[in-house]
Amino acid sequence: MFFHTELIFDETPPVIDAILKRPDALLVINLSGGKDSYAMLRYMVRLHAQRGYQAQIVAVHANLGLAEWEGTEAIIHAQCSDVGVPLTVVRRSRGGLVKRFWQRWQTLRAEGRDVPPFSDSKNRFCTSDTKVQPIDKFIRSLPCRLVVNCMGLRAEESPKRAKKGRCAVRSSITTKALKKLLPEEAWEQWEGGRLAIDWLPIHHFPLERVWQEAGSSKKDLERRQRLFHKGKITEAFLGWRNHYAYVLGNKRLSCALCVFAGAKELARGASYHPLLYANYRKLEEISGYQFKQDLSLKSIPLFTPTISAQTLACLLLELRVG
């Protein structure tokens, strides 16, 4: 069965529950194409039906352009279509992430500043400029005044994420009087201006529960990875509704080359996305800065994939409903 139908225990904060019961509210589901956001999408659709929520559901994907794994947007479209949730794709108006890094380098050089063009943990402008801001703009463009904005971050992913509260007022798009309040206070004082609350509905999910919500399991994934590495590509992807990068061996789906990825995932991302790799290598050479503070892309061992990322994306879309 595609959806498991077991009842969801009460895991929803009362403030979110109260807002989602209203027909004038909007539930925004942020999708990256990764397992966490896909699990969240399916979980939220089930929760919405079981609780009889009246809020309208929409999904949003911030497309980062060349930096993304090939075919990610099409995969997300298929995932949303499975569950009948409309998807809006947003983009940074001045170009994707690769362009953002190059623009930053040009600006820094013009100002005579000697700092890296790439993001790092202290300066994570890649996410704020190419995801947060376009999604804020999208939410602002909608007529709804009450918004629950769901993201698939999980505590297990990192100590920093573990410390994150599950709910917070999204101050960038909330009316001034409510910006600095706790969600419960903001909801109590809400009088009709925009109130947007960020919610992490799967923050407490362990990995196995994520795979279960995403229609799979660790065992199923490992079986598919073995099939792929034996060259049994069709068998590996038959009925697989998640992103193909997991079957290749990725633990996370991020940009094809992410400033936080480990060496193995960088090697895979670079080998499947030679144009992206060439772009970042050029920027490393010109700027004199490495892609990661402790690692240059030059040191990544590239390989020649037996099948292109584009073909993998097409195959996945053909075989996902097995």
Residue numbers at the binding site for ligand SF4 (CB under 6 A): 97, 119, 126-127, 130, 254-255, 258-260
Q: How far is the CB of 64 from ligand SF4 (least distance, A)?
A: 6
Nearer to ligand SF4, 126 or 167 (CB): 126
Rounded CA-CA distance 14/211 in Å is: 26
Distances from the Cα of 261 to the Cαs of 119, 134, 214, 269, 300, in angstroms? 12, 24, 22, 10, 12
Q: How far is the CB of 314 from ligand SF4 (least distance, A)?
A: 23
- DSSP 3-state of 222: helix
Which amino acid is residue 306, in one-letter code?
Answer: T
Sort residue 10 into left (φ over 0), alpha (ψ -120 to 50) or beta. beta
Rounded CA-CA distance 248/157 in Å is: 20
Which residues lie closer than 8 Å to 282 by C-beta, 6 or more apart? none
Nearer to ligand SF4, 98 or 167 (CB): 98
Distances from the Cα of 257 to the Cαs of 25, 105, 110, 188, 251, in angstroms? 36, 18, 26, 43, 13
Q: How far is the CB of 153 from ligand SF4 (least distance, A)?
A: 12
Q: How far is the CB of 256 from ligand SF4 (least distance, A)?
A: 9
Q: How far is the CB of 62 from ligand SF4 (least distance, A)?
A: 9
Nearer to ligand SF4, 117 or 215 (CB): 117
Tokens of 209: 């529960």
Q: State how far Cα 51 lies from the chain centre.
A: 25
Rounded CA-CA distance 136/175 in Å is: 13
Q: How far is the CB of 278 from ligand SF4 (least distance, A)?
A: 17
Nearer to ligand SF4, 45 or 98 (CB): 98
For residues 307 and 68, the answer to whether their CB atoms sit within 8 Å is no
Output helix, strand, coil percentages for the chain, rounded to the nearest 5.
50, 10, 40
Q: How far is the CB of 128 from ligand SF4 (least distance, A)?
A: 9
Nearer to ligand SF4, 124 or 230 (CB): 124
Nearer to ligand SF4, 78 or 132 (CB): 132
Distances from the Cα of 304 to the Cαs of 193, 198, 214, 224, in angstroms? 54, 41, 30, 21
Nearer to ligand SF4, 130 or 174 (CB): 130
Q: How far is the CB of 125 from ligand SF4 (least distance, A)?
A: 9
Nearer to ligand SF4, 46 or 131 (CB): 131
Rounded CA-CA distance 149/7 in Å is: 23
